[in-house]
Amino acid sequence: MTAGMLLSLPAKGVFKMHIRMTYDARKAQIDGALVNIANKPGGWTAISFQNIASKCDCTHANITRYYRSAVKLRKHLFDLAVKGGHMHIVGQAIAAGYPAASKLAPTVRRAAIESLIEA
């Protein structure tokens, strides 16, 4: 610092403090964002690292830490949807031609497709 320069400090409360989340808490937040985005019409195709990161208020790199590729991300979303009974998401996966969706039981596939028709 040279003579004549003043050190000015920002007003109180200007800096935004970030609290680090634990691995499990961040993963749960990402899972919630995944289901939230995909549960809307056309949500299966709207899934991207950037959409999820903006929903979780984090960076793209945080999402790629948990899911290294879009394929793994969609696989996890599909597993969440089947386990959680989100038939609307499963129906979108069937409509998009997701390979794992064709391996579901016929009754589950029928329920998923009917959930799309009702929506």
pLDDT tens readout for residues 8-40: 555 565 555 556 788 899 999 999 999 999 988
Residue 4 has pLDDT above 50, yes or no: no
Residues whose CB falls within 8 Å of the CB of residue 76, separated by 6 or more in sequence, listed in order: 31, 34, 67
The pLDDT tens digits for 81-112 are 999 999 999 999 999 999 999 899 999 999 99
Mean predicted confidence (pLDDT) in 57-86: 92
CA dist 65 → 12, 21, 99, 111 (Å): 34, 13, 25, 34
Residue spans per domain, the chain = 23-118
Q: What is the phi/psi pair of residue 92, to 5°?
A: -65, -35
pLDDT of residue 1: 46
pLDDT of residue 118: 79
pLDDT of residue 116: 87
Cβ atoms of residues 25 and 43 within 8 Å? no
Cβ atoms of residues 43 and 34 within 8 Å? no
Can you tell me the distance from the alpha carbon of 89 to that of 23, in angstroms, rounded to the nearest whole number? 25
**What is the model's pTM?**
0.77
- Of 72, 36, 75, 68, residue with least CA distance to 52: 36
